[in-house]
């Protein structure tokens, strides 16, 4: 028997035994107890802390939704499997095994755990649970693992600061717009009256300059404020927006930048303003295309200038302190020169740009459009990879 066949056989036997034991328990479970069990399961799935329950052989009995998000694995996939499927970290596995053998719990702070494709920093706590007065007459031992994702708390704090910063900027812009637009209206009106009183048509050229500049400044202030109407939110498929963006980008003259799409078809419909989302995505994609077009080509002809628009679903995710059961995430990824760390802190502020001919309004407007619908745009960048993540609540 091959190793894979043996593993499948053990997995099948384990699940059969688990279902048989579960059936025996349910036979002795009253409706009230069954209801309480379901409530406990819902509470477990809504915890921010990642929770893993193991049997005494260190096989996974269940993991909650937060653990699924942290580990990147589904409960169905890991049920009945050994703990080595969860952690690619021998030190942690040895510590958990020793805790099971010695019947002593343990806690480690700020532990970096290596997962199959990345590492995370967590506070990890392992404690033993005895079934006690079990209805089957057995006193079984379980291990409860709690993983407190420290990176997540840092991200929430950063998002809270970003949201507060954005609201402060919008309040400042509204106040500035009121103070600027009123005098501009007076200047424009005075220039029009002066133009009527001038007998020399050549002098009208100067008054027209005043009128045109007043109009230009008013349009600039309006663009800084973004749309002043309430979002027209409807239910729609997020990929209808990305396909619309695809069709709009076909007319783009920049042929040297290739755009690829990577969709998750399982994402349900979102309640959002589609026009706001289209405008936000276009602003980000066009910024990325301009950065790639201006990048000097290297001697390696295999280096392709590309943008990837990727959609995924997130479960039990926070935007700031607000928690959502489901979240759609749209990543706009380019392989351009990247954004400096100093610029990343201010990139969503109006009139902040790293390009000489840029207005500095595209990303500010995009953030405003998304935040009006309850979402958020995040950015992380390094040379060769810049990712703008649009977090869109599914309600």
Helix (H, G, I), strand (E, B) or coil at 202: helix
Is the pLDDT assigned to residue 71 strictly greater than 70?
yes
For residue 15, how far is the Cα from the chain centroid? Answer: 35
- Lowest-pLDDT range of 59-73, 184-198, 285-299, 328-342: 285-299
Residue 208 has a pLDDT of 86
Is the pLDDT assigned to residue 137 strictly greater than 50?
no
For the chain, the straight-line distance linking the first and the last C-alpha, in angstroms and rounded, comes to 49
Q: Which two tokens stand for residue 317?
A: 């995710």
Using CA atoms, how far residue 179 sits from 167, 172, 175, 185, 187, in Å, is: 19, 11, 6, 11, 13
Residue 230 has a pLDDT of 77
The per-residue pLDDT for range 81-103, each reduced to its tens digit, is 888 888 777 888 888 888 888 88
Backbone angles phi, psi at 247, to 5 degrees: -70, -35
> DSSP assignment, residue 48?
S
* Number of helices and strands in the chain (H, E): 11, 12
The per-residue pLDDT for range 106-128, each reduced to its tens digit, is 888 877 777 666 677 788 888 88
Residue 3 has a pLDDT of 40
Percent of the chain with pLDDT over 70: 76
Residue 311 has a pLDDT of 95
Q: Average of pLDDT values for 131-138? A: 53
State how far the Cα of 269 lies from the Cα of 272, in Å rounded to an integer: 9
Model confidence, pTM: 0.59
> DSSP assignment, residue 273?
-
Q: Specify the higher pLDDT residue, 69 or 35.
A: 69
The per-residue pLDDT for range 221-246, each reduced to its tens digit, is 776 666 666 788 999 999 999 998 88
Instruction: For residue 80, give the nearest of 178, 126, 12 by alpha carbon.
Output: 12
Instruction: For residue 141, give the nearest of 128, 159, 155 by alpha carbon.
Output: 128
- Go through the domains of the chain in sequence order and give each one's CATH number: 3-149 (3.30.450.20), 230-395 (3.30.565.10)
The per-residue pLDDT for range 48-59, each reduced to its tens digit, is 788 888 888 888
């Amino acid at each position: 028997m091959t190793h894979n066949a043996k593993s499948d056989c053990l997995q099948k036997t384990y699940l059969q035994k688990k279902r048989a034991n579960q059936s025996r328990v349910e036979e002795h479970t009253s409706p009230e107890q069954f209801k309480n069990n379901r409530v406990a399961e819902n509470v477990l799935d809504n915890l921010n802390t990642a929770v893993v329950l193991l049997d005494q052989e260190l096989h996974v009995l269940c993991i909650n939704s937060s653990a699924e998000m942290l580990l990147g694995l589904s409960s169905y996939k890991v049920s009945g499997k050994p703990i080595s499927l969860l952690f690619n970290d021998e030190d942690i596995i040895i510590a958990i095994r020793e805790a099971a053998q010695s019947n002593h719990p343990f806690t480690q702070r700020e532990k970096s755990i290596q997962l199959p494709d990345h590492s995370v920093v967590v506070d990890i706590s392992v404690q033993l649970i005895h079934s006690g007065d079990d209805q089957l007459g057995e006193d079984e031992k379980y291990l409860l693992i709690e993983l407190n994702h420290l990176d997540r708390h840092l991200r929430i704090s950063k998002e809270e600061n970003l949201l507060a910063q954005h609201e402060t900027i919008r309040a400042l812009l509204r106040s500035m717009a009121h103070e600027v637009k009123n005098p501009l209206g007076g200047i424009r009106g005075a220039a029009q009256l002066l133009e009527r009183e001038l007998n020399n048509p050549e002098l009208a050229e100067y008054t027209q300059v005043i009128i045109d500049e007043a109009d230009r400044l008013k349009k600039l202030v309006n663009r800084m404020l973004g749309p002043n109407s309430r979002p027209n939110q409807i239910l729609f498929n997020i990929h209808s927006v990305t396909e619309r963006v695809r069709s709009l980008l076909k007319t783009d003259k920049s042929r040297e930048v290739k755009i690829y799409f990577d969709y998750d078809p399982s994402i349900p419909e979102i309640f959002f303003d589609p026009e706001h989302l289209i405008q936000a995505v276009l602003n980000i994609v066009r910024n990325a295309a301009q950065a790639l077009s201006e990048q000097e080509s290297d001697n390696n002809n295999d280096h392709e200038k590309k943008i990837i628009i990727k959609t995924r679903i997130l479960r039990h995710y926070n935007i700031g302190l607000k928690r959502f059961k489901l979240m759609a995430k749209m990543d706009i990824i380019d392989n351009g020169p990247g954004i400096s760390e100093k610029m990343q802190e201010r990139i969503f502020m109006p009139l902040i740009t790293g390009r000489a001919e840029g207005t500095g309004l595209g990303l500010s407007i995009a953030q405003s459009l998304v935040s009006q619908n309850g979402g958020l745009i995040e950015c992380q960048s390094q040379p060769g990879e810049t990712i703008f993540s649009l977090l869109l609540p599914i309600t």
